[in-house]
Chains A and B, each alone.
Chain A
Amino acid sequence: MPEYPPLLTVRALSKSYRHKQALGGIDLELRAGEILAFLGPNGAGKTTTVNILTGLLRQDSGEISYSGVLFDPENAAHKRAIGVVPQENNLDRDLTVAENLRIHGYLFGLRGRELTRRIDETLELVDLQEQKNQAAAELSGGLKRRAVIARALLHHPAILFLDEPSAGLDPVSRRAIHSLTRRLNRAEGVSIFLTTHYIEEADILASRVILINAGAIAATGSPAELKAGIGKYAVEFSNDNGESTLYFEDRARAAEEAAALPGEIRIREVSLEDAFIRLTGKTIGEGSAASKHRRRS
């Protein structure tokens, strides 16, 4: 099989805001056909990365290439290749869903009957046909999110950037976004760059996960690989120093160790969250480690 360059390659990307470094030289790639989760806590640098990769923000240094060609935000072909769902919904609130899509269509050079057909097709894809003529402001959070996704898909991008697509949604809406993401990836062949601070979301959706913390990449791998890196079983216990967790490769060893520990003890399978905490020293969403972690095999 011939080797294609990755859809997106990033080398030594760095960015500082006035007083603060947001990205300290990160490397990553997005491969054709994958769902890549860019997982990190608040302030890790996820949105900064997305904004740079989509041409909204200039990096201080570092190289970005799409399919082996250096990224140029003035290059129309590059922009046609990407669709963007920003972290904050930026629909025109007083306009209808269809009008919001139509603006996007015009901006991407679509016209007339072709545009009208695409609007219908895309709304169908995200299951938003019924809300077509409703003002965006009237939609629930979950439906707004789907409208933004539809808008990003209208010009048939090869890569879709989803910046925290399910943040702030209830479990049902979140699941709808998850199945839509999967459908876009499998049935429509869209490669997806998904940022999230939900570990579970990365675990169930992504073929690969990149952990980012404080502007640096802490680890890269499939969810299974990341978990395997720390063990299979976790033993949680509490002692005078507070809560602690130990990791083990096999269940019998875990049970043996657990039996020797005082206080309340819990044995469970290792989760991606364990990997995240071990690799970043952080509890996601809270900013600092609440407990100590050690590894035993």
Chain B
Amino acid sequence: MSVCSGILGVYYREIRVFKTRLLRSVAASMVSPALFLIAFGYGLGRGQVYGGQHYLDFLFAGLLAMSTLNACYGVGTDINIARFYLRVFDEYLIAPVPRWQIVAGETLYGMTRGGINALLFFIYALAAGLHIQVTPLFLAALAMHMALFSLLGFIVALSVKKHGDQFAINTFVVTPMTFLSGIFFPISEAPAVLRWLVQVFPVSHSVAVMRSALAGQAVNPVQLAALFLFLAALAWLAIRLAGRAQG
């Protein structure tokens, strides 16, 4: 009975380590969403309506996407530390487990971190009396969104040569991606160049799908397909990289 030894071993390790800093971590992930909701939602957007949605309802889906994105992508930093500093990653590589299981274990861990943030968000939403619907389609979109950015974190962690490079990628890729991709404003309002550019960011698609699902509107099937494609491509890349974590 050792079919998924790798997934179990990696996931168990990550969760045990996470547990040692659970409170700090959860408390930290509660702060910034609350600030965003207050600053943008109540400050700027009161009463504004976008495409039939109140700005706060609109923003909620975006902030949910951003917060889970950060939590999921953030596991890359943990993996990076495990790889360069603690050298724990070597333990996975000497184990008789296929690489895809290492990737799956880390992705599940990322999704767990993201899931905690999502849960906190729904508590905010309840308290704020927002108009959202949690449907199976929404949950599926959220799961894909979280898997995608956990994989991205993993890929970045395994492609950088030094621990510090991770931060550069955060600053030059991830942050611009979150700010340009329809989290804070509808992409349809942006200049044409930007509208085309953001199509290469997976978050543009995941946030759109999640937003439609949350509002109970129809989901754009092209964007859903794009999500699947991104997911498959990143999973493939992650598995390839997992084998050469050392050099």
A interface residues (Cβ-Cβ under 8 A, vs B): 17, 51, 54-58, 74-80, 82, 84, 86, 88, 90, 92-95, 99, 102-104, 106-111
Instruction: Please state if A92 and B87 are interface contacts (CB–CB under 8 Å).
Output: no
Q: Kindly report which residue of chain A lies nearest to residue B7, judged by CB atoms.
A: A106
User: In whole angstroms, how far apart are the Cα atoms of A108 and B91 in the complex?
Assistant: 10
Contacts known (A109-B2, A111-B1); A90 close to B94, Cβ less than 8 A: no
CB distance from B131 to the nearest CB of A (A): 42
Instruction: Please state if A106 and B246 are interface contacts (CB–CB under 8 Å).
Output: no
- CB 8 Å contact bits of B171-190 with A (1 = contact, 0 = none): 00000000000000000000
Instruction: Please state if A54 and B94 are interface contacts (CB–CB under 8 Å).
Output: yes
The reply to whether the CB of B16 lies closer than 8 angstroms to some CB of chain A is: yes
8 A-B residue contacts at CB 8 Å?
Answer: A54-B94, A76-B96, A94-B17, A95-B16, A103-B9, A104-B9, A106-B12, A108-B5
- Known A-B contacts: A104-B9, A106-B12. Give 10 more (CB < 8 A): A57-B246, A86-B87, A86-B90, A90-B86, A92-B86, A103-B91, A106-B8, A107-B5, A109-B2, A111-B1
- CB 8 Å contact bits of B85-114 with A (1 = contact, 0 = none): 011101111111110000000000000000
The reply to whether the CB of B129 lies closer than 8 angstroms to some CB of chain A is: no
User: In whole angstroms, how far apart are the Cα atoms of A248 and B16 in the complex?
Assistant: 61
Contact residues in A for B221 (Cβ distance below 8 Å): none
The reply to whether the CB of B247 lies closer than 8 angstroms to some CB of chain A is: yes
Contacts known (A104-B91, A108-B96); A95 close to B246, Cβ less than 8 A: no
Contact residues in A for B12 (Cβ distance below 8 Å): 102-103, 106
Contact residues in A for B9 (Cβ distance below 8 Å): 103-104, 106-107
Partner of B2, one of A54, A93, A104, A111: A111
Enumerate B66-102 residues with CB–CB distance to A below 8 Å: 86-88, 90-98
Query: When A and B form their complex, what is the total count of cross-chain residue pairs whose Cβ atoms lie within 8 Å?
Result: 78
CB distance from A212 to the nearest CB of B (A): 20
CB distance from B224 to the nearest CB of A (A): 35
Describe A's contact surface by its main secondary structure: loop
Contact residues in A for B92 (Cβ distance below 8 Å): 107
Q: Across chains A and B, which 7 residue pairs bring their CB atoms closest together, nearest first?
A: A109-B2, A76-B96, A107-B9, A106-B9, A107-B95, A90-B87, A79-B96
Partner of B91, one of A78, A90, A94: A90
On chain B, the number of residues with a Cβ less than 8 Å from chain A's Cβ atoms is: 27
Q: Kindly report which residue of chain A lies nearest to residue B102, judged by CB atoms.
A: A107
User: In whole angstroms, how far apart are the Cα atoms of A94 and B14 in the complex?
Assistant: 12
User: In whole angstroms, how far apart are the Cα atoms of A82 and B8 in the complex?
Assistant: 21
CB distance from A96 to the nearest CB of B (A): 9
Q: Kindly report which residue of chain A lies nearest to residue B10, judged by CB atoms.
A: A107
Contact residues in B for A111 (Cβ distance below 8 Å): 1-2
Partner of A109, one of B13, B17, B87, B96: B96
Contact residues in A for B246 (Cβ distance below 8 Å): 51, 56-57
Q: Kindly report which residue of chain A lies nearest to residue B3, judged by CB atoms.
A: A109
CB distance from A112 to the nearest CB of B (A): 9
User: In whole angstroms, how far apart are the Cα atoms of A103 and B7 in the complex?
Assistant: 11
Q: Kindly report which residue of chain B lies nearest to residue A90, judged by CB atoms.
A: B87
Contact residues in B for A95 (Cβ distance below 8 Å): 13, 16-17, 20
The reply to whether the CB of B6 lies closer than 8 angstroms to some CB of chain A is: yes
CB distance from A47 to the nearest CB of B (A): 11
User: In whole angstroms, how far apart are the Cα atoms of A76 and B88 in the complex?
Assistant: 19
Instruction: Please state if B94 and A92 are interface contacts (CB–CB under 8 Å).
Output: no
Instruction: Please state if B91 and A57 are interface contacts (CB–CB under 8 Å).
Output: no
Instruction: Please state if B94 and A88 are interface contacts (CB–CB under 8 Å).
Output: no
**Which of B5, B8, B95 has the largest number of chain A CB atoms within 10 A?**
B95
**Which of A51, A78, A90 has the largest number of chain B CB atoms within 10 A?**
A90
User: In whole angstroms, how far apart are the Cα atoms of A107 and B94 in the complex?
Assistant: 9
Contact residues in A for B10 (Cβ distance below 8 Å): 107
CB distance from B182 to the nearest CB of A (A): 38
CB distance from A267 to the nearest CB of B (A): 47
Instruction: Please state if A80 and B96 are interface contacts (CB–CB under 8 Å).
Output: yes
User: In whole angstroms, how far apart are the Cα atoms of A90 and B245 in the complex?
Assistant: 15
User: In whole angstroms, how far apart are the Cα atoms of A55 and B95 in the complex?
Assistant: 10
User: In whole angstroms, how far apart are the Cα atoms of A90 and B93 in the complex?
Assistant: 13
Enumerate B1-36 residues with CB–CB distance to A below 8 Å: 1-2, 5-6, 8-10, 12-13, 16-17, 20
Contact residues in B for A57 (Cβ distance below 8 Å): 246-247
Q: Kindly report which residue of chain A lies nearest to residue B99, judged by CB atoms.
A: A74
CB distance from A153 to the nearest CB of B (A): 13
User: In whole angstroms, how far apart are the Cα atoms of A162 and B102 in the complex?
Assistant: 25
Q: Kindly report which residue of chain A lies nearest to residue B87, judged by CB atoms.
A: A90
Instruction: Please state if B6 and A107 are interface contacts (CB–CB under 8 Å).
Output: yes
